[in-house]
Amino acid sequence: MAFLLTWFLPPATQTAPEIVHAVEARYAKAHTLQAKFYERYRASGQPGQSESGVVYFSKPGRMRWEYESPSTKLFLVDGTNVWLYVPADRTASRAKLKESDDWRTPLALLTGKIHLDRLCGKIELITSGANGGASSDAALDPRNVVLNCLPRPSPPGDENNSTFRQILFEVDPEYHLTRVVVREPGDIETEFRFGDWRENVAAPEAMFHFEPPPGVSIVNAEDLARGIH
């Protein structure tokens, strides 16, 4: 009964743990997901890069990112390997999933592989002016709320252990993720915006397995994610 009451309350009236629970509950019931995405990547001192396309998530632990603009490419996680295929280059890069330190890790919650309380050391609601946050910390839609995920403390002597320094999750009144901002050390920021969420879509098993087209060479990479930009 407590969960049902939480589900029908608007996010703006709830605590951070209640919102996290509602978001995870929404996506837990879906075996497959589809959404349109916009991605923006920015590194300190460099011009930003923007891309867009369609993404699919499938349990357990699989993703398929079909980039459509400004160029065509495929990023695929099959549960064991991480693939990047760029048709124009006639190459496909492959890395073992456990070796790929990829900035999509926060989105693994959509594939049933991670919970936010395991990823974040602390989760709090962003409020206007909180923590001296930048304007980009605020919700893009006034109906939405923003969760601020901070990393777990690093073990003594391993202060650079965390792969991120902050993640923002923007959540709409139906508990969909509409935006995720990943901030990494070195003033690196990757932003995803999502729209047109669809649950339990038809996503054949073959969509999450990569078969190199004839004439395409495969390059093994220890860190595929760093080479995608």
CATH 3.20.20.70 is right for the domain spanning 9-227: no
Work out the pLDDT band at 11, boundaries 50, 70, 90.
Answer: confident
DSSP 8-state assignment for residue 163: S
Q: Give the per-residue pLDDT at 225.
A: 45
Structure token pair of residue 177: 């993720």
Question: Are the C-beta atoms of residues 186 and 44 closer than 8 Å to each other?
Answer: yes
pLDDT at 114 over 70: no
For residue 194, which of 116, 133, 141 has the smallest C-alpha distance? Answer: 141
Q: What percent of the chain has pLDDT over 70?
A: 79
Pairing type for strands 217-220 and 91-96 reads parallel
**What's the whole-model pTM score?**
0.82
pLDDT digit string, tens, across residues 144-177: 999 999 988 766 655 555 578 899 999 999 999 9
For residue 102, which of 120, 121, 123, 76 has the smallest C-alpha distance? Answer: 76
